């Protein structure tokens, strides 16, 4: 498949996915088995397919039925005309329900709401309850219409929150500007982005300067200044200046495509509550139908004064109430609205299961560098000994570290400030977690931590304790050290304090840094459990130990997503920070914080807790009302009117309750 076809398929899948998350009651009872189908005659699908005339058609249909129903009620005696009016009104209002029930029975799906509503209203007609039969079907259909409109509105609202897909790109070809699809643009092409337009592809600014709105990706309302040489990402909105951008990635690999891909994939990862309710609904409806059959048949046989008509009527009420629409519809909607609200705040959650897990956090484990600290290392001190000058010490260290991409190596090279002649380096070896060994103009140079010096039997000084100490030895002779310091992020103390206030008592910090530096940073943040001087592979071992101590809550790990893939994978929820420009972070984590602010984790947990609260509000509302009306129906107190409210009314209320998540900022 070519790139254009692949992207178009992704767009279609996204459209299907949004519908499936909320469960079309005809064609999408199960998201895996029920892709969006153009042939589906479900009202939900028709609304999703943007058929605005469908709403008006249904209003006219139910309006005609209501008029005929009202005329029939005006007749005092039950005659042929009155019966005909009731019958025609019923067919107009509920004919499509009966037809859908028949189709689903042929497909092996018996216990759905269409079957239950058809049996209940046909049964009411059969025992002579014509007005109630028509009224129940009519008000059921009106309720369904309102419910579908509410769900459709919610889907549109959620999609608008994530409306970051660019529609076009202004491709510069010679002296001409051609508007093309973003899929047609290739790396190396030049595009023009005018004020007010979305940046359609990732790239580098080669001309112009402007302020860009990054809120669609980061949730931050503060504008960012970009100028020549700056990296820009698809999904940013250009606010004022004209930008000329050289594209660095094709659309299928752009930030927007990756984010939208994550949102699509989230549909397959259901929360435990969703899975439980799906199983519950599977058994709940048949059980209630069986109980309805018992109510209709047994009491008239054993109670002297009981009549079949009376208890059949009670059984029909049972059938109407038994449909678990409010649960099946509102719970997936609540979780997806929560994912939408998180996305609005610059937090990507890869599934409902991870969103729910965040609400039950017992232990939070932070990696230090780049997560709680800025990860921007600077050389703050150079101490030379044994006749070595400070400049020479820095030069040897810079040459030895010139092949490394570690932040510490970059800080040493930055402090050196000169071009490295790599032809002088004859041999280079990286010693994982400890440092490097290099042969520079015939001299054996070791640059690394105290462990490396000890491994080579070289005595080194303790040095300053306010940063990371990088020792240097040449030909097995100690020559001094370079002190490199990192800063705590301004946002980190606030994040730790907020986590404590939320009841998360165990907060742990992991780092490869030395114990003195680590303890000092942890103390400044209020973290009392620190594991320092860890190699990358040792972090997983520490996590296993923390798991053993964990009682019942979830353990989450927060890192930069670059060197933490094993730990992210082992934790209940792996959270990567600073995912706005990091493919590694987006790929490795379950939750991606698009900015470098630790407080975003607090926001994610708050959204998770609010989502779970609304989910349980909907569950208790639906089950509570249904249980009460079921009991009243069995006792002969409730009528079909109460039954319709218990079904459609509660479902509508649950949907509207779920929409409150979209207002969470």
Lowest mean pLDDT among 22-36, 87-101, 249-263, 549-563: 22-36
Same domain membership, residue 505 and residue 364: yes
CA-based nearest residue to 470, from 424, 413, 425, 525:
413
Mean pLDDT of 248-267: 75
pLDDT at residue number 43: 47
Mean pLDDT of 527-541: 85
**pLDDT confidence of 563, banded at 50, 70, 90?**
low
pLDDT at residue number 190: 95
Q: Is the pLDDT of residue 354 over 60?
A: yes
pLDDT at residue number 5: 45
Between CA 462 and CA 514 the distance in angstroms is: 11
**pLDDT confidence of 579, banded at 50, 70, 90?**
low
**428-454 confidence digits (pLDDT tens):** 888 877 889 999 999 999 999 888 999
Same domain membership, residue 145 and residue 17: yes
Q: Is residue 297 part of a domain?
A: yes
Same domain membership, residue 319 and residue 241: no
Sheet strands side by side (includes 210-213): 224-226, 210-213, 237-238
Active site residue: 367, 513, 564, 596, which one? 367
Instruction: Please tell me which residue, 149 or 87, carries the higher pLDDT value.
Output: 87
C-beta of residue 509 within 8 angstroms of C-beta of residue 527: yes
Same domain membership, residue 408 and residue 384: yes
Handedness of CA 23, 26, 27, 29 (dihedral sign): positive
Q: Is residue 261 part of a domain?
A: no
CA-based nearest residue to 480, from 462, 507, 496, 457:
462
pLDDT at residue number 179: 93
Same domain membership, residue 574 and residue 648: no
Cα angle 586, 588, 593; round to 5: 45
Residue 179: strand pairing partners: 170
Same domain membership, residue 252 and residue 135: no
Lowest mean pLDDT among 254-258, 298-302, 486-490: 254-258
Average model confidence (pLDDT) for the chain?
Answer: 81
pTM: 0.69
Pick the last residue of a domain from 195, 228, 256: 256
pLDDT at residue number 21: 39
Q: Is residue 393 part of a domain?
A: yes
Between CA 580 and CA 543 the distance in angstroms is: 26
Instruction: Tally the residues of the chain.
Output: 665
pLDDT at residue number 397: 94
Measuring CA to CA, how many Å separate 458 from each of 226, 412, 437, 440, 479?
Answer: 48, 22, 14, 19, 10
Q: Is residue 187 part of a domain?
A: yes
Q: Is residue 663 part of a domain?
A: no
Mean pLDDT of 630-646: 80
Name the token pair of 86: 């009731």
pLDDT at residue number 665: 58
Between CA 44 and CA 144 the distance in angstroms is: 9
Exposure of 69 in the CB half-sphere (CA atoms within 13 A): 22
Q: Is the pLDDT of residue 39 over 60?
A: no
Pick the last residue of a domain from 194, 222, 256: 256
For 191, other C-beta atoms within 10 Å of its C-beta total 23
Q: Is residue 632 part of a domain?
A: yes
CATH code of residue 503: 3.40.50.1000
Helix axes 52-74, 80-106, angle to 10 degrees: 140
Quick one: DSSP state of residue 379?
A: E
Same domain membership, residue 501 and residue 366: yes
Domain with 7, as residue range(s), is: 3-161+270-336+611-658
Same domain membership, residue 420 and residue 356: no
Mean pLDDT of 56-83: 86
Instruction: Please tell me which residue, 254 or 92, carries the higher pLDDT value.
Output: 92
Terminal Cα distance for the chain, rounded: 40
Instruction: Please tell me which residue, 110 or 596, carries the higher pLDDT value.
Output: 596
475 is catalytic: no
pLDDT at residue number 559: 85
Q: Is residue 601 part of a domain?
A: no
Instruction: Please tell me which residue, 343 or 8, carries the higher pLDDT value.
Output: 343
C-beta of residue 395 within 8 angstroms of C-beta of residue 447: no
Name the token pair of 160: 């608008």
Name the token pair of 404: 């490394």
Same domain membership, residue 59 and residue 157: yes
Mean pLDDT of 136-141: 84
**pLDDT confidence of 38, banded at 50, 70, 90?**
very low
Chain centroid, CA 239 distance in Å:
28
Q: What is the DSSP string of 116-179?
A: HHHHHHHHHHHTT-HHHHHHHHHHHHHHHHHHHHHHHHHHHHHHHHT------EEEEETTEEEE
**42-62 confidence digits (pLDDT tens):** 444 444 444 567 888 888 999
pLDDT at residue number 40: 43
**306-337 confidence digits (pLDDT tens):** 888 888 888 888 887 777 777 777 788 888 88
Q: Is residue 89 part of a domain?
A: yes
pLDDT at residue number 162: 55
For 173, other C-beta atoms within 10 Å of its C-beta total 10
Mean pLDDT of 235-264: 83
Between CA 286 and CA 109 the distance in angstroms is: 12
Same domain membership, residue 276 and residue 153: yes
Between CA 155 and CA 45 the distance in angstroms is: 12
Between CA 611 and CA 627 the distance in angstroms is: 24
Mean pLDDT of 161-179: 82
Mean pLDDT of 510-537: 85
Sheet strands side by side (includes 554-559): 347-349, 591-593, 573-577, 554-559, 361-367, 506-510, 529-531
Residue 636, phi-psi category: left (phi > 0), alpha (psi -120 to 50), beta (remainder): left
C-beta of residue 568 within 8 angstroms of C-beta of residue 559: yes
C-beta of residue 473 within 8 angstroms of C-beta of residue 445: yes
C-beta of residue 362 within 8 angstroms of C-beta of residue 552: yes
pLDDT at residue number 465: 59
CATH code of residue 200: 2.70.150.10
Same domain membership, residue 617 and residue 546: no
Same domain membership, residue 57 and residue 37: yes
Pick the last residue of a domain from 431, 456, 485: 485
pLDDT at residue number 24: 44
Number of domains in the chain: 4
**395-431 confidence digits (pLDDT tens):** 999 999 998 877 788 889 999 999 898 889 988 888 8
**587-619 confidence digits (pLDDT tens):** 778 898 888 889 999 999 999 999 999 999 998
**6-33 confidence digits (pLDDT tens):** 334 433 333 333 333 344 443 333 333 3
Between CA 13 and CA 7 the distance in angstroms is: 10
């Amino acid at each position: 498949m070519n790139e254009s076809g692949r992207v178009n398929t992704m767009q279609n899948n996204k459209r299907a996915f949004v519908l499936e998350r909320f469960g079309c009651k005809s064609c999408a009872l199960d998201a895996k088995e029920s892709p969006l189908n153009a042939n589906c005659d479900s009202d939900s699908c028709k609304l999703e397919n943007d058929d605005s005339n469908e709403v008006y058609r249904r209003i006219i249909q139910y309006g005609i039925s209501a008029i005929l129903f009202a005329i029939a009620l005006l007749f005092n005696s039950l005659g042929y005309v009155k019966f005909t009016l009731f019958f025609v009104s019923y067919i107009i209002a509920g004919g499509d329900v009966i037809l859908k029930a028949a189709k689903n029975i042929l497909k092996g799906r018996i216990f759905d709401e269409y079957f239950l509503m058809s049996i209940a209203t046909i049964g009411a007609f059969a025992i002579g309850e014509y007005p109630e039969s028509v009224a129940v079907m009519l008000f059921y259909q009106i309720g369904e219409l309102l419910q579908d409109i509410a769900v459709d509105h919610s889907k549109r609202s959620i999609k608008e929150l994530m409306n970051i897909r660019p529609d076009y790109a202004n491709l510069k070809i010679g002296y001409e500007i051609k508007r093309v699809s973003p899929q047609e643009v290739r790396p190396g092409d030049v595009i023009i982005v005018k004020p007010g337009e979305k940046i359609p592809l990732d790239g580098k600014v080669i001309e112009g300067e402007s302020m860009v709105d990054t809120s669609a990706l980061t949730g931050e309302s503060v504008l960012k200044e970009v100028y020549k040489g700056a990296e820009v990402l698809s999904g940013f909105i250009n606010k004022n200046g004209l930008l000329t951008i050289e594209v660095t990635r094709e659309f299928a690999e752009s930030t927007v495509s990756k984010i939208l891909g994550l949102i699509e994939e989230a549909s397959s990862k259901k929360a435990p509550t969703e899975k439980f309710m799906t199983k519950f609904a599977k058994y709940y409806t048949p059980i209630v139908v069986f109980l309805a059959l018992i109510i209709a048949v047994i009491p008239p046989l054993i109670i002297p004064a009981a009549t079949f008509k009376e208890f059949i009527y009670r059984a029909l009420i049972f059938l109407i109430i038994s449909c678990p629409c409010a649960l099946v519809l509102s719970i997936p909607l609540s979780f997806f609205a929560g994912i939408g609200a998180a996305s609005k705040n610059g937090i990507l959650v890869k599934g409902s299961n991870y969103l729910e897990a965040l609400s039950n956090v017992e232990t939070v484990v932070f990696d230090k560098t780049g997560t709680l600290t800025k990860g921007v290392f600077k050389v703050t001190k150079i101490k030379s000994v044994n006749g070595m000058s400070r400049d020479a010490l820095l030069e040897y260290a810079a040459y030895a570290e010139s092949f490394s991409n570690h932040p510490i190596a970059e800080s040493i090279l930055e402090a050196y400030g000169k071009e490295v002649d790599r032809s002088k380096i004859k041999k280079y070896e990286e010693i994982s977690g400890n440092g490097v060994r290099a042969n520079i103009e015939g001299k054996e140079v070791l640059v690394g931590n105290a462990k490396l010096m000890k491994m080579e039997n070289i005595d080194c000084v303790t040095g300053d304790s306010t940063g990371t100490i990088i020792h240097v030895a040449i030909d097995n002779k100690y020559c001094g050290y370079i002190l490199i310091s990192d800063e705590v992020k301004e946002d980190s103390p606030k994040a730790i304090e907020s986590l404590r206030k939320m009841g998360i008592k165990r907060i742990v910090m992991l780092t490869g840094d030395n114990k003195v530096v680590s303890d000092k940073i942890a103390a400044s943040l209020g973290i009392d459990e620190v594991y320092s001087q860890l190699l990358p592979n040792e972090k997983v071992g520490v996590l296993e130990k923390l798991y053993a101590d964990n009682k019942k809550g979830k353990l989450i790990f927060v890192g930069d997503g670059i060197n933490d893939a094993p730990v992210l994978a082992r934790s209940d929820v792996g959270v990567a920070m600073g995912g706005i420009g990091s493919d590694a972070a987006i790929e490795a984590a379950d939750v991606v914080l698009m900015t470098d602010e630790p407080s975003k984790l607090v926001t994610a947990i708050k959204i998770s807790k609010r989502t779970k609260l609304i989910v349980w509000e909907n569950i208790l509302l639906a089950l509570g009302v249904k249980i009460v009306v079921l009991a009243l129906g069995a006792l002969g107190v409730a009528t079909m009117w109460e039954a319709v409210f218990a079904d459609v009314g509660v479902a509508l209320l649950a949907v509207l309750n779920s929409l409150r998540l979209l207002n969470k900022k």
